[in-house]
Amino acid sequence: MAILNRMDSLLQKCTSLIHLKQFQAHLIIAGKFQFHPSRTKLLELCAISPAGENFRQIQTPSTNDWNAKVDALTCSFALKGCVRALAFSEAAQMHSQLLRFGFEADFLLVTTLLDVYAKTGHLDHGQKLFDSMRELDIASWNAMISGLAQGSRPNEALALFKRMKEEGWRPNDITVLGALSACSQLGALKQGEIVHGYVVDERLDSNVIVCDAVIDMYVKCGFVDKAYCVFASMSCKKSLITWNTMIMAFAMNGDGCKALELLDQMFCACNHAGLVEEGVRLFDIIKESRVKPNVKHYGSVVDLLGRAGRLKEAYDIINSMPMVPDVVLWQSLLGASKTHGNVEMAEKASRKLVEMGSISCGDFVLLSNVYAAQQRWHDVGRLREAMRIKDVRKVPGFSYTEIDCRIHKFLNGHQSHPNSKEIYAKLDEIKFSIKSYGYTAETNLVLHDIGEEDKENVHNYHSEKLAVAYGLISTSDGTPIHVIKNLRICVDGHVVLKIISNIYNREIIVRDRARFHIFKGGVCSCRDYW
């Protein structure tokens, strides 16, 4: 003990950095630095850099060692940790450290501390700190307004929002979210309209989260029509929350027809964007509400799951329906089975269609495609014979394009157009060019047991390719090419048009039976999901 006291006495007599380093060297050489109580005092007396070097030599730092060298940066990291962990007591201790070391003038540190108080619900502490702050930046206002709104003190939140504007501050998107939440809690329509007006004036409605908050505010104030006006006029992309809020608002207010109308639109959006989980979740929510989905809604979910390859789930939903499934549902499942090459599910769907008396050529063609992909030519022939017996005729594929105010029609493989020679020469040029991009024709779905070269030619002369080729030879560089197609575009055609749009630097807009495809720079607007 006497030795330790003597060492402490020597440390206190160190009057320069050289003396401190000599003392440190002595402890290290003697092997006492790791365990000597004086190491914490040494850290306190050293400048920042030497203190950091000393600290790194300690194998198991104590709490005192960690606290020995506190600066604004270490306080900042510690407080940010408190925010993430919602650690109020630790933040309160940090508050005392800020005061002890004179960091209360650092408004960034104080703002972070304020954020902890607000998010942990200790609003009285937060209010005192806010009122004592010598300098505010906008984050301070946001932390306090949001904290008051989330802490069920909406009146105070709105009062602070009003004060903020009166003092010349410009609330941002985070500020208005807190104010809108307060209006929703109070059902304060007039104040909500004022906030909404500010949102529009400052163009904060480009943020979907802000729009969702405005819609929610009007709904909770009991004005669904005002909420729908915001919904319908949104310039930003609607989120799942946007759709859910609006659909449930109509459902809860007894307007089931409008809720179902929006549900149709939502499923359409989900189907075309591949938002499978979102669509299924929304469907489950609707089933649990007072709005009962109809056959069309079940069809949308089956289509959504089918496109995603979740055929068993789609099949189970059809079989669990409270009403009799219609032809469209089974055709949707058949189409998905063809897309994903599921022969067993395709045959199940086909049998159901036969039982229902459907003789659509599309049903036969889809099942033929499934068999052709597996090279089951006997089954393809059997279906063709069945089509002949039932006098089922395949609908020919054709495409339109408008050039110089004239409509031009193209059929698969036909050479009836007056510029046919130039069109087919352009297709040969395209065929050669796209192979350098790694293109190989998707020939496995051609319904003929013929050679690969002949199969490639069948694909190469599809109507949309003829229309695009004509567009390339008859319009100037950079001019968009518009094509209308009576059938859904096939996988091979889709791949080819993406490459053409890149090679020839052309925007190609194709409207097929299901949707629009905008090809540009080698990609399609559907993101290969159609």
How many Cα atoms are found within 13 Å in the side-chain-facing hemisphere of 449?
9
DSSP 396: P
Stronger pLDDT, 33 or 24, i.e. the higher one: 24
Q: Is the pLDDT of residue 66 over 50?
A: no
Q: Which residues contact 252 (CB under 8 A, 6 or more apart)?
A: 289
Structure tokens at 433: 């060019």
What whole-number distance in Å separates Cα of residue 70 and Cα of residue 305? 57
Q: Tell me what pLDDT residue 499 has.
A: 95
Q: Tell me what pLDDT residue 75 has.
A: 63
On whether the CB atoms of residues 125 and 91 are closer than 8 A, the answer is no
Stronger pLDDT, 20 or 144, i.e. the higher one: 144
Q: Tell me what pLDDT residue 520 has.
A: 95
Q: Tell me what pLDDT residue 249 has.
A: 87
Among 102-106, 402-406, 510-514, 523-527, which stretch is predicted with the lowest mean pLDDT?
A: 102-106
Q: Is the pLDDT of residue 232 over 90?
A: yes
| 3-class secondary structure, 508 | strand
Stronger pLDDT, 267 or 83, i.e. the higher one: 267
DSSP lists the bridge partners of residue 518 as 509
355: buried, middle or exposed (CB in 10 Å: 19+, 13-18, 0-12)?
exposed
DSSP 314: H
Q: Tell me what pLDDT residue 436 has.
A: 83
Stronger pLDDT, 44 or 29, i.e. the higher one: 29
Q: Residue 130: enclosing H or E segment and its boundaries?
A: helix 123-132
Q: Is the pLDDT of residue 33 over 60?
A: no
DSSP string, 172-201: -HHHHHHHHHHHHHHT-HHHHHHHHHHHHH
Question: What crossing angle do the helices spanning 377-389 and 361-373 adopt, rounded to 10°?
Answer: 170
Segment 334-378, tens digit of pLDDT: 989 988 989 999 999 999 998 888 878 888 888 988 998 888 989
Mean pLDDT to the nearest integer, 235-252: 85
Q: Is the pLDDT of residue 35 over 50?
A: no
Q: Is the pLDDT of residue 240 over 60?
A: yes
pTM: 0.53
What whole-number distance in Å separates Cα of residue 481 and Cα of residue 302? 34
pLDDT band at 146 (very low <50, low <70, confident <90, very high): confident
Structure tokens at 328: 């469209």
DSSP 394: P
On whether the CB atoms of residues 134 and 107 are closer than 8 A, the answer is yes
Structure tokens at 504: 């020839």
Q: Is the pLDDT of residue 86 over 50?
A: yes
What whole-number distance in Å separates Cα of residue 448 and Cα of residue 381? 9
Mean pLDDT to the nearest integer, 50-77: 52
Q: Residue 144: enclosing H or E segment and its boundaries?
A: helix 138-150
Mean pLDDT to the nearest integer, 82-100: 64
What whole-number distance in Å separates Cα of residue 184 and Cα of residue 485? 48
Q: Residue 399: enclosing H or E segment and its boundaries?
A: strand 398-403
Segment 443-465, tens digit of pLDDT: 555 544 434 444 444 557 889 99
Of the candidates 290, 289, 294, 288, the one whose C-alpha atom is nearest the C-alpha of residue 267 is: 294
How many CB atoms lie under 10 A from the CB of residue 29? 9
209: buried, middle or exposed (CB in 10 Å: 19+, 13-18, 0-12)?
middle
**Dihedral Cα 338, 339, 341, 343, nearest 10 deg:** -20
Average pLDDT value for the chain: 79
Q: Phi/psi of residue 279, each to 5°?
A: -65, -45
